[in-house]
Structure formats: structure tokens, C-alpha cells
């Protein structure tokens, strides 16, 4: 799953909560997507976590991520006070997944494949834009009974 990417010219701030037995909290900063990927991928698999990533050079841009093994990655972006959500399957938007174990629900249809999500995340964090690799929707486009986090 690991792919080598170019380093960022900026400092990426992360605040991640691993969904392990102890809900380990990881906070800090990295200069490259590779460094971030080292933390969130173990044994070629993405670890389960919920968290946020910000770029010091672009304060109006923030990424919210949730990962679930065998489901994929949810990516939510706040850019210029507007929210955008990754979309994989419109038919699964009312099927909710409890990502934290305390009814923090995200629609299954918002999770993209892990490999695709990691590749897109690299571009998103470098370019501060919605990556064309993914389909995006806004919260207003979600049907009743669906949910997201941001």
C-alpha cells in the first residue's frame, strides 16, 4: 500500500485518535506525506483512526479523516468555510458506520477504497483542492438518514 511521494514544502499538523484498545492520541507535525503515511499504515494496512490534518500555510483548509479496516477512508474537507465529502456509493449513504464506538456515525457510502483515498489525500494536502480522483458531494446533497463528521 505504501507509495513514495514528494515532500511537502509546508508543515502538516495532525491530530489523530487511533481506534485501538486504548484510543491512542497522536498529535504533532510532519513535513511530508510519507511521514504521515508511516504513522497511519502498519504492515501494509491502514490503521483505524479518526482525526484532522491542517497545513500551516493554508489555515482556511482542513481535512477530516476516518478510516475503517475493510471499508476504506472517509475524507471531509473544509475549504473557505465550505464542506465537501468524499463519495464512493450513493446507494450506501443511509447505511451508517459507528467509527468511534459511541455513535459517531458516518455513512458507508462516503468511504472510498484505502489505496485510492491515500493517493487522493497526498494530492489534497499538497494542492489544497478537491482531488479529481474522487467524487465529492456537499452535506446538503446527503439524503435523510445519512451522516458525516467534519
Tell me, yes or no, whether 2 lies in a domain: no
Neighbours of 55 (CB within 10 A): 20
Tens digit of each residue's pLDDT (9 = 90 or more) over 32-46: 888 888 888 877 778
Tell me, yes or no, whether 77 lies in a domain: yes
Angle (CA) 65-43-76 rounded to 5° is 10
Note whether 105 and 96 are within 8 A (CB).
yes
Tens digit of each residue's pLDDT (9 = 90 or more) over 98-127: 887 777 889 999 999 998 999 999 899 888
Best-predicted range by mean pLDDT (4-18, 54-68, 79-93): 79-93
Total number of domains constituting the chain: 1
Tell me, yes or no, whether 3 lies in a domain: no
Residue 20 pLDDT grade (very low, low, confident, very high; cuts 50, 70, 90): confident
Note whether 137 and 85 are within 8 A (CB).
yes
Amino acid at each position: 500500500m505504501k507509495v513514495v511521494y514528494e515532500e511537502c514544502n509546508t508543515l502538516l499538523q495532525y491530530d489523530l485518535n487511533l481506534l485501538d484498545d486504548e484510543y491512542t492520541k497522536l498529535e504533532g507535525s510532519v513535513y511530508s506525506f510519507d511521514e504521515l503515511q508511516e504513522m497511519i499504515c502498519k504492515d501494509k494496512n491502514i490503521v483505524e483512526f479518526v482525526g484532522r490534518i491542517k497545513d500551516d500555510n493554508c489555515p482556511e483548509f482542513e481535512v477530516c479523516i476516518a478510516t475503517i479496516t475493510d471499508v476504506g477512508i472517509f475524507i471531509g474537507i473544509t475549504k473557505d468555510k465550505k464542506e465537501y465529502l468524499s463519495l464512493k456509493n450513493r446507494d450506501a449513504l443511509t447505511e451508517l458506520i459507528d467509527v468511534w464506538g459511541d455513535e459517531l456515525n458516518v455513512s458507508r457510502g462516503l468511504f472510498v477504497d484505502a489505496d485510492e483515498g491515500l493517493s487522493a489525500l497526498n494530492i489534497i494536502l499538497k494542492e489544497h483542492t478537491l482531488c479529481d480522483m474522487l467524487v465529492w458531494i456537499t452535506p446538503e446533497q446527503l439524503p435523510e438518514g445519512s451522516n458525516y463528521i467534519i
